[in-house]
Chain A
Amino acid sequence: MNFLNALVALLNFVVIPAASYGAQLAVGALGVTLIFGILRFSNFAWGDTMAFGTMVVILFTWLFQSMGISIAPLPTALLALPFGILITAAFLLGTDRVVYQFYRRQKAKPIILVVVSAGVMFIMNGLVRMIIGTEEQNFADGGRFLISAGDFKAWTGLAEGLAIKGTTAVTLVTALLTMAALFWFLQKTRTGKSMRAFSDNEDLALLSGINPDRVVQVTWVIAAALAVIAGTLYGLDKSFRPFVYFSLLLPIFASAVVGGLGSPMGAVAGGFVVAFSEIVVTYAWKKVLTYLVPESWAPDSLMQLLSTDYKFAVSFSILIIVLLFMPNGLFNKGK
């Protein structure tokens, strides 16, 4: 019984929150890694792209809610997702036409593109704040819980409760489908293959007749889809605030770098590594240990490795350790 209690406490407070946070990071990191692999720069505007996409989804969600359209028990935002992706894709393609294309034609160095993307970041930043404001928005509707902590306790008679939120399930399923679709696309379709070829060796790809403009466009469209999905899942699960999305940039980049920039598989793994280590390192293990060890050994202290203030430091430390010992990331072979 004590062992079960420990297990449930661990699941409820560590595994489930970290898995859903990790899935959100992973989808976000996939977009970063895709842009890095194919367009060859780190897109600093990524957090605000997510904010923009989520904002469009929220606006459509409100529209649908006002029209009385719902897909309960699923959140209405899922229905608004395709529209968000469409508009965000158009927005990104427009940005590419107006801003990035010029620098690409100039064969500008990646670092210049990074600075350019920081400029784009500020514009998007302002745009989102002008349209939806700086305040927090909650747009999750539909079923709140699959299992609530109270119900779980009543069913099992355990002292510890296990809660699975509806949004957690939605996050995990959507993220899984998104990843599967992306990998299928990259591995099996002609366009996907040409994208990978372009990423591996640009000159060779051009020689074999791949249209670079098309590759770039497809990349932006996929990036838009990933940004909107990641942003919407995060917003559904937590809440939407432009400033929070901007600061998501750090954990998302950490995830992408840990996995190896340019490696989709690595981005997914990186997302979960970052999310789990943030929570595991700062978790107070007292409760779980108290269940597991004989009573007389029960710890008095909180058994916490690091205070929760150091959450962000964890992302940074992983980043530094990986860059020191495996500069190509965990999943990038060779290069």
Chain B
Amino acid sequence: MKKLLLATAATALCASFASAEDVKLGILFGFTGPIESLTGHMKNAAEAAIAEVNASGKSKFAFSDVTGDTTCTGADVAVTAAEKMVTADGVKGIIGGDCSGVTGAILQKVARPNGIVMISPSATSPALSTAEDDGLFFRTAPSDAREGEVAAQILQEHGVKTIALTYSNSDYGKGLAEAISSSFEKLGGKVSINIPHDDAKSDFSAEVASLAAAGGDILVVAGYVDQGGKGIIQASLDTGAFSKFELPGGMVSDSLTKNFGKSIDGSYGQVASSDSPGAAILLDIGKKNTPAFDASSPYASESYDAAALIMLAMNATGSSDPKVYKEKIMEIANGPADGSGTKILPGELGKALDLIAAGKAIDYDGASGVTLIGAGESAGRYKEFDIKDGAFETIKFR
């Protein structure tokens, strides 16, 4: 009897909280597939943001989430999962997708027809910047086009005139290679050769032979460090074709320095990374959160920010209708043009909701230093590094 009373009381208590409108958000990542090791952290980070908003008790909405699997590579599977989220679960916004290919498919086949806002934390293809999106698509990850510009600048500052370029034969590699070569040529540089390499192979003698024949001051390897990119560097070092490399984000990992040590000293590159104070705060939140997550894992902080942006925009407009709150996302992320918005860091979502309720402007910075540019994509901060004595050395952020 006592238990029953307790249960009734608890239900009543819950019911009083639920007086706020219930809103479901979709979390749509590739929980199986090539980036399955990242998506767990990404999901936990997004859910941490949702829990934080709910716990603050200041939200006009009670948020909950449903998850779906994109597999990262299978557009059909991803679209079906998104379709189910929107039609069966009735989500009002999607945090996702993850990989560029499936994200584009979901945007065109589900988000636009149904008028649902999507914020992707990890799709980086330049093609998404120009995709038709009816103002529904945003990303807290920068476009690879931006990385191309940064890479070109770094190359030029190192006095490089000619580069040889090889890329992983994937959407990521191809997009990045195009971005680097076009930006570098715009700065007056010359690309001697631009060829793909296959990640499913170990023998790169033909590729390296061609790269060496074309020549260049440095070899740009727009690939994956644990796959073909490593083979290309190994074969280049072995044949003496190149000894210095420009390394974009996909090549940056401890396994690189572990494999090659001092033999690639003098190489340099850039990786998307934020020096914003929010990153450290989220790292702490992640450790204390249940389930714990690693906020330094790629795109985890972007996922937290994506979820936060949707929820803050809904509260700012007082509406969970995507057509209404989509207009507010840019403003929340960037604050007023005069910079008078209060900076919001992770763990301050409650404070943000207070400010919004009081009608004051906020400038959401979050864990990844969010600033949205263009059609609603992150401006992106990149860490420039050198490889010295077989270790990464941070030069500066740009």
Contact = CB atoms under 8 A, between A and B. Distances in A.
Interface of A: 9, 12-14, 17-18, 21, 135-136, 138, 148-150, 153, 161, 163, 165, 234, 238-239, 241, 243-244, 247, 278-279, 282-288, 302, 304, 307-309, 311
A21 B203 contact: yes
B202 A239 contact: yes
Interface residues of B, number: 29
B195 A309 contact: yes
B206 A282 contact: yes
27 contacts: A9-B212, A9-B213, A12-B239, A13-B241, A21-B203, A136-B227, A136-B230, A149-B239, A163-B239, A234-B202, A241-B202, A244-B200, A282-B206, A282-B210, A284-B193, A284-B210, A284-B214, A285-B213, A286-B213, A287-B214, A288-B213, A304-B210, A307-B195, A308-B196, A308-B197, A308-B206, A308-B207
Interface in B210-251: 210, 212-215, 226-227, 230-231, 234, 238-241
Given A17-B239, A18-B205, A165-B238, A308 B213 contact: no
A198 B119 CA distance: 67
A44 to B, nearest CB: 18
Top 6 closest pairs, chain A to chain B, by CB: A149-B240, A17-B205, A284-B213, A238-B202, A13-B209, A161-B240
Contacts of B202: 234, 238-239, 241, 244
Prevailing SS type, chain A contact patch: helix
Given A148-B240, A309-B169, A17 B226 contact: no
B195 A308 contact: yes
A132 to B, nearest CB: 15
Contact of B209 (A135, A234, A241, A283): A283
A131 B239 CA distance: 33
B206 A150 contact: no
A311 B203 CA distance: 11
A307 B210 CA distance: 9
B240 A163 contact: yes
Given A165-B238, A238-B231, A239-B231, A283 B206 contact: yes
B25 interface: no
A318 to B, nearest CB: 15
B205 A21 contact: yes
A287 B213 CA distance: 5
B210 A302 contact: yes
B201 interface: yes
Contacts of B240: 12, 148-150, 153, 161, 163
B205 A13 contact: yes
B353 interface: no
In this complex, the member of B212, B230, B234, B240 whose beta carbon has the largest number of chain A beta carbons within 10 angstroms is B240
A302 B206 contact: no
Contacts of A284: 193, 209-210, 213-214
